Structure 1
Amino acid sequence: MTLLQAVILGIFQGIAEFLPISSSGHLVLLENIFKINEGEIFFTVMLHFGTLISILIVYFKDICKIVVSFFQIIGKLFSREKVRLDNESKVLTVMLIVGTIATGLIYIVFGDFFESLYSSLVAVGIALIVTGFLLMISERTNSGRKTAKNMTIVDAIIVGLFQGFAIIPGVSRAGSTIVGGLFRGFDKTLATKFSFLMAIPAIGGASLIELLKVLFGDQSVGFSLPLLVGVILSTVTGVFAIRILIRVLERGKLYYFSYYVWAIGGIIILTQFL
C-alpha cells in the first residue's frame, strides 16, 4: 500500500460512507484498480473505523445521551421497575437496539451470499443503479412529520432491514437507511440522525468482526504511515460528508446523487462486457 493509494482510498471512504453513493462499491472498484489483495483487508477495516469516529464527532451530544439512557433502561430492568420511554433519547436507544437486531438477522441469513458479490464488478454496478432508483423514488415521496418520540418498533425494524441489505456492495448504507426512514414517514432530521446513529453498531460490529479475522488469521498486519494517513483522511472527510448530506436533505436534493451512481454503475457494467 503506497501513500498515494492510502490518500485516495481514505478520501473516498470518508465521502462515500456518508453520501449515498456506496463506500463498499467504490472501495471494491478502487481495490480492483490498485490491485489490492486480501492481505491488505486490515487497511479497509481501519478506514471504516475512521468513518465511525466521524459519526462520534458530529453526533457526540446525542450519543452521550443515548449511552446514559441505555444504562438507565438496564438499571430499570434489573430492578424490575417499569421502563418508560418518556424522552427522545430513551426512544432512540430502544429503536437502535431493535433496528440493529434486524440488521444482524439479515447479515446472519444472507451475509455469506452478499459478501460473495464483492468479487463481481457487474454485481456492484447493478447495485449502484438500484441505489440510484431508491434515491430518486425517496425524493418523490412527501416528507413525513414523524419525530423520534413517535417512532414505532415497526419503523426500527424496517430501517434495520434496509441497512441489512446495504451489505450488498454498491448499495449505499446511508442512502438505504435514509430512504427507509423517509418511507416510514420520518421527517428529514430524524431520517438523517437515525441513519447515522444506526451506523455506529453496524460499522463498529462489522469492523470488529473483520479485525478479529485479520488479527487471529494467518495474515501479518502492522501499522504504517499510509494506514495512519488513510484513517485520518477518512475521519476528516467523513465529518464534512455528514454535514453536506444534512444540507442536501434539507434542500430536497437527495436525488442529485442518483445521476452519479447511475453513471458509475453503468460505466462499471459496460467495462466488464467490452
Structure 2
Amino acid sequence: MGYIEAIILGLVQGLAEFLPISSSGHLALLQDLFHVDAEKVLLFAVLLHLGTLVSVFIVYWKDIWELLVELVITIKDLCTGKGLRLEERPIRKLGIMIIVATIPTAVIGLLLNDFFEGLYTSMIAVGVGFLITGVIMFLAEKMSSANKGIEKMNFRNAIFIGLLQGVAIYPGISRSGSTLVGGLTTGLKREFAVKFAFLISIPSILGSVILELPDAIKAGTDPTLMGPIAAGVVVAAVSGLFAIKTMIKIVSNKKLSYFSYYVWILGACTIAYGVFWA
C-alpha cells in the first residue's frame, strides 16, 4: 500500500463514516479493488477509526466537555443521595441516553461481529448493504421530524436508535444513516437527531477500536507503511470534519435522497462486480 492508496482510503473513511453512504462498505470495496490484504493493514484500519473520532471531538468538543463535567457532578450527586435528577439536568440526561443507546449496539457487536466480518469479502453482500442504505435514506427524506429534544426523549427511543446502530455493523449499511433514521422515527427534531447520531458514534467507534486493536498489534505492520498510514489518518480526520459539517447542513435542508440514488447505483455496480469479476 502506497501513499496514494492510503490517502484514498483515508478520504473515503472520513467522508463515508459521517455521510450516510457506509464507510465499511466503501472500504471493503476499495480494498478488494486495490487487492489490499486486510490482515496486513489492520492497524491502519484501526487508526483510521481514531482519525474520524478526532473529527467528532473537534465539532462537538463543547458538548463532550459538558458531558465529562456532568459525569463528575453525577457521581457526586449519587454519593450524596441526591439521585440522578434527569429531568432537572438535560446534559446529564443526554449522557444517560448515550449510554443506553450504546448497550444494544455493544450486545449486537459482541454477538455478531464475527459473522458480519465474514461478509466483508463478499461484494454481493456489500452491494446488498448499499441498497439497504439507499432505502434507509429515502425513508429519512420522507419523514417529518417532530420537535422532540433531549427533554422529551425516553429510554425506548435511545434503545431503538442503539439497535439500528448495531445492525449497521453489516458492511454497506450506513451507521450515521441508520441512527439518523432511528432518531427521526422516534420523533426527534432533525438538528438533535443528527447531533445524537454523531455523539453515540464515539462509544461505538471506541468499542470497535478496542475489539480490533489486540489483533492489529498482533498482526503488526511493515515499518515502511508508517508514512502512508500517517497520511491516511490525517486525511481521514480532515475529511471527517468536512463530512460532519456537511451532514448537519444536509439534514436541515432535507437533501438526503441524493445519497439514496448514489448508494443504489453503487450497490447495483458492486453486486455486478461481485457476480462477474470479484
Q: TM-score range by the shorter chain?
A: over 0.9
Is the CA contact 1:42–1:221 (under 8 Å) kept in the aligned structure 2?
no
CA deviation map 1:195-245 (0-9, x unaligned): 000000000111122112221x24346571111111110000101100111
CA deviation map 1:139-195 (0-9, x unaligned): 112111100111100011000001001100000010000010000000001110000
Aligned pairs for 1:44-63 (under 5 A) are 44-63=45-64
Q: Which moved more, 1:123-132 or 1:77-86?
A: 77-86
Find the aligned partners of 2:116 and 2:245 in 1 and give their Cα distance: 30
Q: Does 1:113 align with 2:118?
A: no
* Equivalent residue number for residue 68 of structure 1: 69
Q: What TM-score does the superposition give when structure 2 sets the normalisation length?
A: 0.95
Is the CA contact 1:132–1:261 (under 8 Å) kept in the aligned structure 2?
yes
Gaps of at least 5 residues in structure 2 are: none
Q: What TM-score does the superposition give when structure 1 sets the normalisation length?
A: 0.96
* Equivalent residue number for residue 138 of structure 2: 136
* Equivalent residue number for residue 152 of structure 2: 150
Deviation at 1:271, TM superposition (A): 1.8
CA deviation map 1:78-112 (0-9, x unaligned): 33331111232111100001011111111122222
RMSD: 1.3
Letter in 1 for 2:26: H
Gaps of at least 5 residues in structure 1 are: none
Q: Does 1:19 align with 2:19?
A: yes
* Equivalent residue number for residue 34 of structure 1: 34
Q: Does 1:261 align with 2:259?
A: no
Stretches of 4+ moved more than 6 A in 1?
none
Matched position secondary structure for 1:207: helix
Q: Does 1:242 align with 2:256?
A: no
Using a 3 Å threshold, how does the CA distance of structure 1 residues 70 and 263 change in structure 2: closer, same or farther?
A: same
Find the aligned partners of 2:275 and 2:117 in 1 and give their Cα distance: 22
Is the CA contact 1:214–1:221 (under 8 Å) kept in the aligned structure 2?
no
Equivalent pairs counted in the alignment come to 273
Q: Which moved more, 1:79-88 or 1:132-141?
A: 79-88
Letter in 2 for 1:98: V
